[in-house]
Amino acid sequence: MRVLKLGGSVITVKEKPMTADVGNIRRLAEEIAAAGPGRLVVVHGGGSFGHPVAKRHGIAEGFTSRGQALGFSKTHRAMVALNSLVVDALVDLAVPAVSVTPSSFVVTDGGRIGAADFDVVRRLVDGGITPVLYGDAVLDRSRGFSILSGDQLAARLAVELGASRLVFAVDVDGVYTSNPKLSPDAQLIERLPLGRMRELVEVGGALTTDVTGGMLGKVSEAAAAVEAGVEVLIVNASRPGVILKALRGEPVTGTVLTR
């Protein structure tokens, strides 16, 4: 049983609102199809679909005005649009993918998933179907609503469903000593013990604020899965063949998170 989180940085063009990277989506669907029928859950991020709309309406900050209801709706709709591109690409290649809407069964509390019933997802997987979930605008017990990240959802699913492997697909080779897009000297960390994150990865400083948002957030969400004994990998899905290998359990360049 594997959980694959497809990063918004890979399946969308991040700097262009509502723009999917259809080439990457098709290629990744091909790699998933080629990996063969095994138990798999796919979760994807929002990239240029969910994030700009959610930000415009302050959805992650919770309920502040009635006017946000339309923003909640539009954020969800943007994610549904992206989700259907991913599901269509998979079904076209005969992968039995089924969209599962996170906001219809997850209510967060302060942005965190509390008790949630993963029975439907579990039964789909047991039935040989590949559920495809995504980061979504969700209801929140204390804030009214919130944004549930694909990263948090993927890690929780990996724990709940007893996955052996959780693969985070991003647009860089893994976790580096600092953001590789900003610092040419950044070095890839192939094995990253959770407790040494702050010591090995540069945080703070003007150029590295992205670490806190992007990669540091991902590693923190993944921690629960690592603690539960799931093998967690962060790999580069922009490189052809990497996801195929990662799903097959073959060695691949990237970062393995360890206890």
* Minimum distance from residue 65 beta carbon to ligand ADP (Å): 28
Q: Tell me which stretch binds ligand ADP (CB under 6 A): 85-93, 117-125, 158-166, 206-214.
A: 206-214
Tell me the number of residues near ligand ADP by CB under 6 A: 20
Query: Which position among 8, 50, 131, 254 is part of the footprint of ligand ADP (CB under 6 A)?
Result: 8
Query: Which position among 181, 191, 196, 198 is part of the footprint of ligand ADP (CB under 6 A)?
Result: 181
Which residue number, 7 or 71, has a Cβ lying nearer to ligand ADP?
7
Burial of 208 (0-12, 13-18, 19+ CB in 10 A): middle
Radius of gyration for the chain, computed over Cα atoms and rounded to the nearest angstrom: 17
36-55 residues near ligand ADP, rule: CB under 6 A: 45, 47
Q: Tell me which stretch binds ligand ADP (CB under 6 A): 8-16, 109-117, 224-232, 238-246.
A: 8-16
78 binds ligand ADP (CB under 6 A): no
Q: Which residue is nearest to ligand ADP (CB)?
A: 7
Q: Among 45, 47, 26, 170, which residue's Cα sits nearest to residue 90?
A: 26
Residues sharing a CB contact under 8 Å with residue 6, sequence separation 6 or more, in sequence order: 28, 42, 43, 44, 45, 86, 150, 169, 237
Which residue number, 32 or 129, has a Cβ lying nearer to ligand ADP?
32
Q: Tell me if residue 106 falls in helix, strand or coil.
A: coil
214 binds ligand ADP (CB under 6 A): yes
The angle formed by the CA atoms of residues 119, 151 and 256, to the nearest 5 degrees, is 105
* Minimum distance from residue 31 beta carbon to ligand ADP (Å): 16
Q: Which residues of 16-44 are buried (b: 16+ CB within 10 A; e: fewer)?
A: eeeebbeebbebbbbbbbebeeeebbbbb
Please tell me the distance from the alpha carbon of residue 13 to that of residue 56, in angstroms, as a whole number.
Answer: 18
219 binds ligand ADP (CB under 6 A): no
* Minimum distance from residue 128 beta carbon to ligand ADP (Å): 27
Strands 107-109 and 112-113 turn out to be: antiparallel
Are the C-beta atoms of 154 and 43 separated by less than 8 Å?
yes
Please tell me the distance from the alpha carbon of residue 187 to that of residue 197, in angstroms, as a whole number.
Answer: 14
Q: Tell me which stretch binds ligand ADP (CB under 6 A): 1-9, 68-76, 119-127, 246-254.
A: 1-9
* Cβ count near 164 (within 10 Å): 13
Q: Tell me which stretch binds ligand ADP (CB under 6 A): 94-102, 110-118, 122-130, 168-176.
A: 168-176
102 binds ligand ADP (CB under 6 A): no
Q: Among 1, 42, 49, which residue's Cα sits nearest to residue 21?
A: 49
135 binds ligand ADP (CB under 6 A): no
Q: Tell me which stretch binds ligand ADP (CB under 6 A): 23-31, 90-98, 101-109, 178-186.
A: 178-186
Which residues are at the interface with ligand ADP (CB under 6 A)? 7-10, 45, 47, 170-172, 175-176, 178-181, 201, 210-211, 214-215
